[in-house]
């Protein structure tokens, strides 16, 4: 099933009836051909038919279908209005040629925050998404965390289409902004020495400033941290560190670095039951990036 | 108490102001597009300004639990640069239909010129065609004539009077505005516009229906707490709770919610300040409390 059809079905079961009719009429109008101003007007006025505060709330089956449509596409946290706008964009039949690209770029040029979120979310779903890599890079320069999340999280866009520089910047900026890095699809497939170095530099900066290290920063090391990484992790794991979530993260990260034996040694003297549980889980091999979800209680892990 | 300040240029205000507004109970604001103290010379300046009203300023306010709406339009002063005005008028439809854009505004008259009348009429027509509300700036000089002209043109074009808010009223203009069926807004702005005491006098005289209090706080000597301060004065002078509520919250909400661009249900919920957004090092809250009696925290 195409992304458009899946979104259309989700919308038709959720929107009030008059709004479903508006959506169908808008699709017809767009398919028949509209100028850029009218197209932008329809995308804007979608807010009269779906509220930004209403979640899309996809079912488990719908989430499964989304991932089948495009691996890494996860609309779990989409809003209803974002879905409506995404569907309006995907309605265009000219997205695979320059005309469609220009129309989408024109939307970006005048987009408010909600529209920006919707547009960035739809980028991985358009044909040849790599044409929008520079645009997505621009999105990463935002200071508005929800917009940044829309570019980077729950989507395969970054892992597939960002060059190494943009990718590393996006990963570190996610930690910097405090957005949940574990939701960056494909993180574990694109770790490397440069990213590990950037992460360890940030660790040093945080410690010099007497600030806790963000637990998810340790995700960036993988097996590329070297001796410097192992040393930093052992320091984080030390019993004198009162940041329990950071200690748990270091346990996972030590296992991710292939330092299982060190972890076993640490565990022998570990008194904190929460940290012990994380160590055991790490030793059991449950160390994919998504395990870091547990370090964010607010995520309802 | 909760307050709706339906006219404030938050772009010109600091985070200290936003903190104080939130603490005083200001839960929602409308930021109408206006001039920036000096004229712009390029249409691109308007693109970026309008973008900031629907983007960064909305986000900035949200971090303090304040819902930020805006009005889009070409103001009267800059309508007199006719070449630029034409370009900006073409731009208005790109922004006016956005989520949270609750009106065309602030538009109207400054010197009451032909060019101003052209821009005003064009924008009122757009508002009528798109079922929108209009926020009218009334002039400092020759105010009464400016208001009467604004009302007459809107009537000729066929804009429902319930969709018209005339702002910066005075004792001399309130009757015309109310008799026409429009909403009468008052700007509590020291020295040049209206003071709290006179405002309470007017509410006592005319009652609270269709009467709206705002601050129009901007880059001049003005007060972003004008609305809560005036509400306090109303309470002190014995006006009833309903009157205070209507003039400092409900009337503004009723007038501008006609745009369909206010999620009233979400607004009425307790304001949620998103801690993850507050925490962001790169956002406007950089961890410091703006106080001089304590060192800068880490």
Q: How confident is the model at residue B193 (pLDDT cuts 50, 70, 90)?
A: confident
- Whether A176 has its CB under 8 Å from any CB of chain B: the answer is yes
- What does the pLDDT read at residue B22? 94
> Low-confidence residues of chain A, pLDDT below 70?
299-301
- What does the pLDDT read at residue B273? 55
Domain B3-279 belongs in CATH node 3.40.50.1460: no
- Whether A110 has its CB under 8 Å from any CB of chain B: the answer is yes
Task: List CB contacts (< 8 A) between B257 and chain A.
Answer: none
Look at residue A287 and tell me if it is in a domain.
Answer: yes
- Whether A63 has its CB under 8 Å from any CB of chain B: the answer is no
Q: Determine whether the interchain pair B55/A112 forms a contact, defined as Cβ–Cβ distance below 8 Å.
A: yes
- Whether A51 has its CB under 8 Å from any CB of chain B: the answer is yes
Together in a domain, A87 and A216: no
Together in a domain, A58 and A173: no
Count interface pairs A-B at CB distance under 8 A.
76
| Number of domain units in chain A | 2
Q: Is B287 left (phi over 0), alpha (psi -120 to 50) or beta?
A: left
Together in a domain, A284 and A188: yes
Q: What is the least distance, in Å, from the CA of B143 to any CA of chain A?
A: 35
- What does the pLDDT read at residue B291? 45
Q: How confident is the model at residue B190 (pLDDT cuts 50, 70, 90)?
A: confident
- What does the pLDDT read at residue A278? 96
Q: What is the least distance, in Å, from the CA of B31 to any CA of chain A?
A: 15
Together in a domain, A74 and A185: no
Together in a domain, A58 and A171: no
Together in a domain, A197 and A286: yes
- Whether A113 has its CB under 8 Å from any CB of chain B: the answer is yes
- Per-residue pLDDT of B61-106, as tens digits, reads 999 999 999 999 999 999 999 999 999 999 999 999 999 999 999 9
User: Which chain A residue's Cα is nearest to B277?
Assistant: A145
When mean pLDDT is compared across A283-292, B235-244, B281-290, the lowest value belongs to B281-290
Of B94, B263, B281, the CB nearest to A176: B281
Together in a domain, A169 and A132: no
The chain-wide mean pLDDT, for chain B, equals 91
Together in a domain, A169 and A44: no
Together in a domain, A128 and A252: no
pLDDT at B220 over 80: yes
- What does the pLDDT read at residue A299? 60
Specify the pTM.
0.86
Q: Other C-beta atoms within 10 Å of A96: how many?
A: 13
CA-nearest of A25, A33, A35 to A103 is A35
Task: List CB contacts (< 8 A) between B284 and chain A.
Answer: 143
A229: its two tokens: 């990484």
- What does the pLDDT read at residue B294? 62
Together in a domain, A125 and A248: no
DSSP A212-278: PPPGGGGGGTTT--HHHHHHHHHHHHSTT---HHHHHHHHHHHHHTT-HHHHHHHHHT---HHHHHH
- What does the pLDDT read at residue A296? 84
- What does the pLDDT read at residue B298? 63
Together in a domain, A7 and A137: yes
Look at residue A156 and tell me if it is in a domain.
Answer: no
Q: Pick B270 or A274 by higher pLDDT.
A: A274
Together in a domain, A76 and A176: no
Look at residue A176 and tell me if it is in a domain.
Answer: yes
User: What residues make up the domain containing A273?
Assistant: 163-301
Look at residue A202 and tell me if it is in a domain.
Answer: yes
| Domain final residue pick, A108, A142, A176 | A142
């Amino acid at each position: 099933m195409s992304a458009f059809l899946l979104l259309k079905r989700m919308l038709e079961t959720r929107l009030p009836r008059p709004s479903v009719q508006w959506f169908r009429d808008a699709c017809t109008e767009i398919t028949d051909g509209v100028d850029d101003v009218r197209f932008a007007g329809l995308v804007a006025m979608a807010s009269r038919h779906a509220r930004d505060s209403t979640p899309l709330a996809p079912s488990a089956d719908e989430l499964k279908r989304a991932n089948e449509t495009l691996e890494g596409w996860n609309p779990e946290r989409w809003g209803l209005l974002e879905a409506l706008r995404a569907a309006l964009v995907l309605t265009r039949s000219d997205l695979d040629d320059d005309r469609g690209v220009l129309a989408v770029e024109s939307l970006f040029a005048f987009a408010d925050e909600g529209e920006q979120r919707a547009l960035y979310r739809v980028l991985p779903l358009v044909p040849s998404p790599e044409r929008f890599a520079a645009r997505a890079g621009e999105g990463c320069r935002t200071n508005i965390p929800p917009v940044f999340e829309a570019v980077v999280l729950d989507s395969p866009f970054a892992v597939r289409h960002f060059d190494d520089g943009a990718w590393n910047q996006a990963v570190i900026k996610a930690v910097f902004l405090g957005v949940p890095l574990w939701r960056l699809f494909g993180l574990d497939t694109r770790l490397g020495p440069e990213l590990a170095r950037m992460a360890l530099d940030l660790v040093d900066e945080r410690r010099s400033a007497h600030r806790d290290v963000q637990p998810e920063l340790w995700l960036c090391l993988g097996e590329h941290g070297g001796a410097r990484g192992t040393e930093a992790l052992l320091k984080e794991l030390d019993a004198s560190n009162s940041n329990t979530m950071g200690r748990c993260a270091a346990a996972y990260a030590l296992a991710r670095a292939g330092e299982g034996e060190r972890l076993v040694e640490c565990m022998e003297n570990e008194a904190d039951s929460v940290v012990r549980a994380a160590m055991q889980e790490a030793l059991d091999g449950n160390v994919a990036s998504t395990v870091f979800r547990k370090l964010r209680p607010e995520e309802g892990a | 108490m909760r307050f709706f300040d339906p006219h404030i240029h938050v772009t010109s205000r600091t985070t200290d102001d936003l903190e104080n507004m939130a603490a005083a109970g200001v839960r929602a604001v409308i930021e109408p597009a206006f001039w920036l103290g000096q004229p712009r010379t390029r249409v691109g300046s308007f693109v970026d300004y309008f973008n900031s009203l629907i983007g960064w300023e909305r986000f900035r306010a949200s971090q303090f639990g304040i819902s930020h709406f805006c009005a889009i339009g070409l103001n009267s002063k800059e309508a007199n640069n006719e070449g630029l005005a034409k370009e900006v008028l073409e731009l208005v439809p790109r922004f006016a239909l956005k989520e949270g854009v609750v009106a065309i505004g602030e538009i109207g008259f400054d010197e009451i010129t032909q060019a101003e009348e052209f821009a005003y009429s064009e924008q009122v027509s757009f508002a009528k065609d798109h079922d929108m509300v209009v926020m009218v700036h009334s002039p400092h000089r020759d105010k009464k004539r400016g208001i009467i002209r604004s009302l007459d043109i809107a009537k000729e074009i066929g804009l429902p009077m319930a969709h018209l808010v005339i702002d910066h009223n005075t004792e001399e203009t309130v009757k015309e505005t109310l008799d026409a069926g429009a909403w009468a807004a008052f700007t509590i702005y020291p020295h040049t516009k209206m003071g709290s005491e006179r405002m309470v006098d007017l509410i006592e005289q005319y009652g609270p229906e269709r009467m709206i209090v705002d601050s129009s706080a901007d880059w001049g000597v003005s007060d972003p707490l004008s609305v809560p301060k005036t509400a306090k004065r109303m309470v002190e002078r014995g006006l009833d709770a309903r009157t205070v509520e209507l003039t400092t919250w409900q009337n503004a909400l009723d007038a501008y919610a006609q745009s369909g661009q206010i999620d009233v249900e979400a607004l009425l919920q307790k304001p949620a300040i998103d801690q993850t957004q507050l925490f962001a090092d790169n956002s406007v809250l950089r961890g410091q409390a703006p106080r001089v009696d304590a060192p800068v925290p880490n």
